[in-house]
Amino acid sequence: MSAHADVLVVGLGSAGAAVAQALAAEGRRVVAIDKREVGETGARWVNAVPEWCFERARLRAPSGGELFVAHHDASSRAMHLLAPEGGGRLTLRAPPVLHVDMRRLVDRLVHDAIGAGVTVRRGRIASVELEGGRVVALRVEDGGREERIAARLVVDASGLGGAVRERVPQLARVCPAASPENLCVAAQFQHEVRDRAGLEAFLETHGASPGHDIAFPSIAGGFSTLTVFTSPALDRVGVLTGSIPATGAADAKEMMARFLAREPWIGPRLWGGRGAIPLRRPYRVLARAGVALIGDAACQVHSAHGSGVGIGLVAARMLADAVRGADDPGADEVLAQYERSFHREHGGVLTAADAFRRHVQGASAAELAALIEEGLLDEALAMAALAQRPTRPSPALVLRLAPRALRNPGPALRFFPIAARTAVLDRVAALVGSRRVGASVERSIDSLVGEAPRHVGPGAWREPGSRDRADDLADTSRSREDA
Ligand SMILES: Cc1cc2nc3c(=O)[nH]c(=O)nc-3n(C[C@H](O)[C@H](O)[C@H](O)COP(=O)(O)OP(=O)(O)OC[C@H]3O[C@@H](n4cnc5c(N)ncnc54)[C@H](O)[C@@H]3O)c2cc1C
């Protein structure tokens, strides 16, 4: 069997479905394949996504049933970041993200793609056919049946594994898969609330109200988190856990089990899932040989919190814009335009976020607590990071910090080098999109981003006389039970 298309999209997660729909809407013949059935593709849990990404991607923002809680008024929402070792809190009022039910969003995007004329097939790649260094067709296999699909542009939207990227030498050489110390494993599940009073007590203990989120960054050491989302009616709770297991931290499954065992008010699991997220800046090379990478396959992820949905949707729109009107959608100059515009618009923010993530991965709990306690990370900076916007300290923050830094220079001196590096990266990383200077700039960027620490196991996090945050948390719930 064989088929011909203008564009073949591999992967129907959020990024793949969005690009397939955008290209088909402009009259391209688009075939999309996914190894999973329609209705099972992409992320199947709750993701926090900045609202501006939908606008930039020219997509309707999720509302109603596509959200963790329908009709949750943004102004009544808040997120509390509780520093490790009881080291202070930062409260973000009306955080600039939507809690999206990804099952519903992905299903809407896939149905819109089909409605725009995209032909969807189930299948996985068996092999890639190259001619003169360019991909001309994929052989796709499903249950023993093989089909050759020829296309002038192939879009790899297959997520972390980069199913096309890994098979095309021109890409595989320059787009290495994320190494274990740069791989976050996360789990996110929704639960019923068995005992409302238990949840009320949990919120009170942590100074939060119904409908608020509580995040415990670095709970298992280094780059790790436990975040709890609550519904205003106190009938639902979402739990997110994530860490980099290769660094010796407890993994997402273990953290989840530990938390659920200690919070008996949490009832039966409803839905959610687990997966891995590549934490690194986007590849310098986003397209070659008639193949464009988008979403997790391109490492288009905000590493500071492992978020790839919003920026993947934006990349889908940018690719469709670059392709518009081109005779050959896979031509090198078309792909160069996509690469350049993506890096120019988002390369700086995402690269600076990765440098910050690497810093956090190697910092002690006390250093991280000091960020919040000393006011080095204020509400404006945290909101910008959550919104995936440039994190530039405001003049007001600098004025507020100056007298404190003079009185107690330690935390500020430790923070200054990473603040300076992210400020430089924020501006310079955009240049890697230029094919003339990109490769040489990239080497300097590598050294500014720094190495990702490999071993930050729980042992590294116990300061004399203190315990890790998970134990503190366990104690909190135990003492409440005793009471
Ligand atoms: C628990 C968890 C929580 C997260 N929280 C957030 C969050 O709060 N905010 C946020 O923005 N991001 C979050 N992320 C990351 C986010 O889910 C991903 O960045 C996003 O789903 C990437 O979208 P994508 O379309 O690029 O890839 P995916 O969603 O991975 O979709 C890829 C698709 O390709 C298909 N595929 C794979 N290989 C093949 C193949 N060989 N052949 C055919 N099809 C193939 C898969 O079946 C899948 O449907 C989280 C991730 C996890 C695991």
Q: What is the pLDDT of residues 272-297, one digit of tens each?
A: 999 999 999 999 999 999 999 999 99
Q: How far is CA 368 from CA 87, 215, 219, 280, in A?
A: 8, 14, 11, 21
Of 7-16, 66-75, 390-399, 431-440, the least confident: 390-399
Has residue 466 got a pLDDT over 80? no
Per-residue model confidence as pLDDT tens digits over 139-149: 999 999 999 99
Q: Which of 48, 61, 50, 46 is nearest to 96 (CA)?
A: 50
pLDDT above 70: residue 465:
no
Instruction: Assign 483 a pLDDT band (cuts: 50, 70, 90).
Output: very low
Nearest CA to ligand 1 atom 19: 308
The predicted model gives 446-464 an average pLDDT of 64
Atom of ligand 1 nearest to the CA of 296: 26
* Residue labelled with tokens 């796709």: 140
Query: Which atom number of ligand 1 is nearest to the Cα of residue 275?
Result: 53
pLDDT band at 421 (very low <50, low <70, confident <90, very high): confident
Rounded CA-CA distance 190/44 in Å is 11
The neighbouring-strand residues paired with 273 are 188
CA distance 435 to 152: 22
Displacement of CA 196 from its chain's centroid (Å): 31
- Residues 423, 392 contacting (CB under 8 angstroms): yes
Q: Is 253:189 a contact under the CB 8 Å cutoff?
A: no
In the predicted structure, residue 360 carries a pLDDT above the cut 60: yes
pLDDT at 478: 32
Q: What distance in angstroms lies between residue 222's CA and the mean position of ligand 1's atoms?
A: 23
Domain with CATH 3.50.50.60 in the chain: 2-64+101-179+279-346
Can you give the pLDDT at residue 261? 94
DSSP string computed for 116-158: TT-EEEE-EEEEEEEETTEEEEEEEEETTEEEEEEEEEEEE--
What separation in Å is there between the alpha carbon of 43 and the centre of ligand 1?
A: 5
- For ligand 1, atom 17, the nearest C-alpha belongs to 43
Q: What are phi and psi of 77, to 5 degrees?
A: -90, 155
Q: Rounded to the nearest whole angstrom, what is the distance from the C-alpha of residue 42 to the centroid of ligand 1?
A: 5
Per-residue burial over 227-262, b = 16 or more CB atoms within 10 Å of its CB, e = otherwise: bbbbbbebebbbbbbbbbbbbbbbbbebbbebbbeb
d(CA 13, CA 338): 20
* Atom of ligand 1 lying closest to residue 252 CA: 1
CA of 400 to the centre of ligand 1 (A): 40
Q: What is the pLDDT of residues 52-101, one digit of tens each?
A: 999 999 999 999 999 998 877 878 899 999 987 777 899 999 999 999 99
Closest-lying ligand 1 atom to the alpha carbon of residue 41: 49
Three-class DSSP category at 241: strand
Tally of helices (H runs) and strands (E runs) in the chain:
15, 17
Residues within a 6 A CB radius of ligand 1: 10-16, 33-36, 41-43, 45, 47-49, 124-125, 157-159, 161, 163, 186-188, 274-275, 277, 295-296, 301, 306-310, 312
Q: What is the per-residue pLDDT across 142-169, written as a single tens digit (0 to 9) for each?
A: 999 999 999 999 999 999 999 999 999 9
Distance CA 352, CA 197 (A): 42
Cα 182 to ligand 1 centroid, rounded to whole Å: 16
Q: Locate tokens 């789990």: which residue?
A: 187
In the chain the first and final C-alpha atoms are separated, in Å, by: 70
- Residue ranges of the chain that CATH labels 3.30.160: 181-278
Q: How confident is the model at residue 458 (pLDDT cuts 50, 70, 90)?
A: low
Supply 227's token pair: 């975040």
Task: Tell me the C-alpha to C-alpha distance, in Å, between residue 443 and each of 174, 310, 341, 359.
Answer: 13, 28, 20, 19
**Distance from C-alpha of 15 to C-alpha of 342, rounded to nearest angstrom:** 14
Phi, psi for residue 370 in degrees, rounded to 5: -65, -30
Going from the Cα of 325 to the center of ligand 1, the distance in angstroms, rounded, reads 29
Which of 296, 342, 349 maximizes ligand 1 atoms within 8 Å of its Cβ, making it the mutation to test the pocket?
296
Angle (deg, nearest 10), helices 438-449 and 348-362: 30
Helix (H, G, I), strand (E, B) or coil at 208: coil
Other C-beta atoms closer than 10 Å to the C-beta of 27 total 10
Instruction: Say if residue 477's pLDDT is above 70.
Output: no
157 CA → ligand 1 middle, Å = 9
How many CB atoms within 10 Å of residue 45? 21
How far, in Å, CA of 196 to CA of 374, rounded? 35
- At 460, the amino acid letter reads A
* Cα 21 to ligand 1 centre (Å): 18
For residues 153 and 4, the answer to whether their CB atoms sit within 8 Å is no
Amino acid at 32: A
Nearest-CA residue for ligand 1 atom 33 is 11
Our mutation pick for probing the ligand 1 site, out of 147, 307, 350, counting the most ligand atoms within 8 A of Cβ, is: 307
Q: What angle do CA 287, 288, 292 make, to 5 degrees?
A: 35
Domain 2-64+101-179+279-346 has CATH 3.30.450.90: no
Mean of pLDDT over the chain: 89
Q: Which amino acid is at 288?
A: R
Task: Please give the distance, rounded to the nearest whole angstrom, from the Cα atom of residue 185 to the centre of ligand 1.
Answer: 12
Classify domain 181-278 at the CATH topology level. Answer: Double Stranded RNA Binding Domain (3.30.160)
Of 103, 149, 104, 156, which Cα lies nearest the Cα of 126?
Answer: 149
Strand-strand pairing, 2-10 and 145-156: parallel
pTM for this entry: 0.92
| Ligand 1 geometric centre to CA of 321 (Å) | 23
